[in-house]
């Protein structure tokens, strides 16, 4: 438990009468973590941050001096990065890009555009010519394989709306090689097949598969490949399973022949979750404790409208209890001891549940729960205005 947050909760209680509800982002923690990640990365590799995991501007600013650039998947995300830096390299991916997005991508000078379909590529070639703008593309490929690590979220290996299946590579290259096209330039390939893989060895195998495939395509089609983007998907453990071993991943990669064989080709990674998940805390106060039949429920000021990840994944989100002293009422303070308690939010739906049957030593109304690992895909994927409760406050540890 982060001591700074504990202290901050007590100070907040001394100065306010309302129940606490906030996100705390540890920017210093993120910076240290990324420093360590970079230390072990092989020379040929670069780190980008996929901002959809947490597009908080302060986080983007904190990462700006450390990462090579940012991955975005909409014009909104693109402009957010451009607010922070006019020149930092941007990778622009995502299915269903509109003409206006393709135009804006060229105007904002993205470094590489990830092509997700043949239609998108045809439109891009047409628009680039109209606009007289040059742009570099990576073809996003969805491999047909059952050798990828099995995780909760998979975007590739099986039928999916993301990227191009391998048999379409030839047609994509034909569009790019058409003599009418002088503006859109092939630079390489992009893969992002899964999220939250916890096994470093399997991640290395997956990257090796990507490199092998690219090697084949280079030979078959006579390609000059400058960049291979191997995506994100490095996992964070929300339960007792071991964390993703970044040191092991990078050292296995560094030692592999496939990496040596890259020569001048750059290898990109674009994680989201792994960079920020551990450095966000969702802080919510217990406003009621109730018994229903044989079960206890603690109701929070907050819930899945602020942190939808546990409902989305159906998991029990890890948290700890910060006991507090504030109790301004003339009647007894409800409490439970040595009990299993289900933690729910303030919404009128049974889906608003963050943890089922948490075994607690003691919990009182007014105590504060700190949900750890809430820095990625928590606030940003939530339905903030469902039921009209106030949003949480945002605080930053610098």
Ligand X SMILES: *Cc1c(COP(=O)(O)O)cnc(C)c1O
Q: Among all residues, which ones are annotated catalytic?
A: 348
Pairing, β 280-292 against β 295-300: antiparallel
Of the residues 192, 199, 306, 355, which one makes contact with ligand X according to CB under 6 A = 192
Question: What does the per-residue mask of binding to ligand X show for 210-249, with x meaning CB under 6 A?
Answer: ---------------------xxxx---------------
Reported as type and span, the H/E element at residue 90 is: strand 90-92
Does residue 273 bind ligand X (CB under 6 A)? yes
d(CA 343, CA 310): 11
Cβ closer to ligand X: 75 or 298?
Answer: 75
Q: How far is the CB of 37 from ligand X (least distance, A)?
A: 12
DSSP string, 220-235: HHT----EEE----B-
Mapped onto helix, strand or coil, the DSSP state of residue 257 is helix
Report CA-CA distances (Å) from 367 to 250, 271, 305, 320, 363.
41, 35, 20, 10, 7
Quick check: 274 and 232 in contact, CB under 8 A? yes
Is 14 exposed, middle or buried, given 0-12, 13-18 or 19+ CB atoms closer than 10 A? exposed
Question: What does the per-residue mask of binding to ligand X show for 80-99, with x meaning CB under 6 A?
Answer: -------------x------
Residue with tokens 């999220």: 195
Site for ligand X in 18-57 (CB under 6 A): 50, 52-53
Does residue 195 bind ligand X (CB under 6 A)? yes
Of the residues 45, 59, 69, 71, which one makes contact with ligand X according to CB under 6 A = 71
Report CA-CA distances (Å) from 383 to 7, 276, 375.
30, 20, 16
Does residue 270 bind ligand X (CB under 6 A)? yes
| Piece of 39-47, 166-174, 245-253, 271-279 that binds ligand X (CB under 6 A) | 271-279
Number of residues that bind ligand X (CB under 6 A): 17
| Piece of 198-206, 256-264, 272-280, 314-322 that binds ligand X (CB under 6 A) | 272-280
Cβ closer to ligand X: 271 or 302?
Answer: 271
Cβ closer to ligand X: 19 or 188?
Answer: 188
Q: How far is the CB of 299 from ligand X (least distance, A)?
A: 31
**Closest-CB residue for ligand X?**
232
- Nearest C-alpha neighbor of 185 from the set 265, 102, 107, 112: 112
Considering only CA atoms, give the Rg of the chain: 24
Q: How far is the CB of 346 from ligand X (least distance, A)?
A: 28
Does residue 272 bind ligand X (CB under 6 A)? yes
> What is the token pair recorded at 224?
């000059």
Q: How far is the CB of 49 from ligand X (least distance, A)?
A: 9
β-sheet bridge partners, residue 353: 344
Residues that bind ligand X (CB under 6 A): 50, 52-53, 71, 73, 93, 192, 195, 231-234, 270-274
């Amino acid at each position: 438990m982060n001591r700074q947050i504990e202290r901050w909760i007590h100070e907040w209680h001394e100065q306010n009468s309302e129940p606490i509800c906030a996100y705390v982002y540890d920017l210093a923690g993120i910076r240290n973590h990324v420093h360590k990640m970079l230390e072990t990365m092989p020379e040929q590799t670069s780190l980008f941050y996929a901002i959809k995991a947490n597009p908080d501007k302060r986080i983007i600013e904190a990462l700006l001096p450390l990462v090579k650039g940012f991955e975005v998947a909409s014009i909104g995300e693109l402009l957010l990065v451009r607010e922070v830096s006019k020149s930092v390299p941007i990778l622009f991916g995502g299915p269903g890009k509109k003409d206006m997005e393709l135009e804006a991508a060229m105007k904002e000078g993205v470094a590489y555009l990830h092509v997700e379909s043949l239609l998108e590529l045809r439109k891009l070639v047409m628009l680039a010519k109209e606009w007289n703008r040059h742009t570099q593309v990576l073809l996003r490929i969805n491999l047909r394989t059952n050798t990828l690590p099995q995780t909760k979220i998979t975007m590739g290996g099986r039928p999916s709306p993301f990227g191009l299946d391998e048999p379409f590579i030839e047609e994509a290259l034909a569009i790019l090689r058409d003599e009418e096209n002088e503006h859109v330039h092939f630079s390489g390939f992009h893969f992002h097949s899964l999220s939250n893989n916890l096994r470093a060895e399997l991640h290395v195998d997956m990257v090796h598969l990507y490199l092998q495939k690219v090697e084949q395509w280079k030979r078959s089609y006579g390609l000059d490949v400058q960049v291979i983007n191997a995506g994100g998907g490095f996992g964070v453990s929300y339960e007792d399973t071991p964390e993703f071993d970044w040191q092991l991943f990078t050292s296995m990669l560094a030692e592999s022949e496939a990496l040596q064989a890259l020569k001048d080709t750059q290898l990109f990674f674009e994680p989201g979750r792994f960079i920020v998940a551990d450095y966000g805390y969702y802080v919510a106060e217990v406003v009621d404790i109730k018994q229903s039949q044989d079960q206890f429920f603690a109701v929070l000021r907050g819930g899945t409208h602020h942190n939808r990840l546990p409902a989305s994944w159906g998991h029990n989100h890890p948290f700890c209890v910060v006991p507090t002293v504030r109790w301004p009422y003339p009647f007894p303070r409800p409490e439970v001891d040595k009990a299993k308690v289900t933690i729910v939010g303030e919404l009128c739906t049974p889906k608003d549940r963050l943890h089922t049957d948490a075994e607690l030593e003691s919990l009182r109304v007014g105590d504060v729960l700190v949900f750890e690992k809430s820095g990625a895909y928590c606030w940003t994927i939530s339905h903030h205005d469902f039921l009209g409760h106030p949003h949480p406050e945002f605080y930053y540890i610098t």
